[in-house]
Amino acid sequence: MSAQAIQDSYPPAFAHCYGCGANNQHGHHLKSYLVGNETVARFTPDLKYSGGVPDHVYGGMIASLLDCHGTASAAAYAYQKEGRQIGDGREPVRFVTASLKVDFKRPTPLGVELVVRGMLRSLDGRKAWIDLVLTAGELTCATGEMLAIRLPEPVDA
């Protein structure tokens, strides 16, 4: 597993995301890690993040988790492709979302740890396609696919 969360490698000027930015004091601080050939994040939403029906997570939270984990995954795979360690002190890598599709497979239970995984489909220049899966225990609750775009360097402004 990468020693550092991918989000903790983001340049400070780009680390304010409510979903995952280390510099957003109010946010969720999602942390994603590279584990072998996939990325993994774990998150337990607070009970207030109910969907229409109590005891299930609302769709916006699910999309948020996939979104933040997806761009983190894209950065992780760019580091990997370049033979670099995440947060190696060189020019940081930061992707943003161009497109995100979420398929809600079943209601996502609230009050349990959710696991989000990201798999690289392709990485070509500044474009990364990431496949995403959100599970609760053995249940696959949502899947996603993201097109992420790498910000031009330098991103440490």
Please choose, out of 21-29, 33-41, 78-86, 125-133, the segment that lies near its own copies by the rule CB under 8 A.
21-29
What is the residue-wise DSSP string for 103-142? EE-SPPBSSS-EEEEEEEEEEETTEEEEEEEEEETTEEEE
Contact 112, 135 (CB under 8 A): no
**Closest to its own copies by CB, 52 or 83:** 52
Q: How far is the CB of 56 from its own copies (least distance, A)?
A: 9
Please give the residues from 72 up to 111 whose contact with its own copies meets the rule CB under 8 A: 94, 96-104
| Separation between Cα atoms, residue 74 and residue 93, nearest integer Å | 9
Q: Is 133 in the site for its own copies (CB under 8 A)?
A: no
Q: Is 1 in the site for its own copies (CB under 8 A)?
A: no
Q: Is 24 in the site for its own copies (CB under 8 A)?
A: yes
Closest CA to 132 of 113, 117, 148, 147: 117
Question: What is the Cα gyration radius of the chain?
Answer: 15
Q: List residues near its own copies by CB under 8 A.
A: 10, 13-19, 21, 24, 26-27, 48-54, 58-61, 63-65, 67-68, 94, 96-104
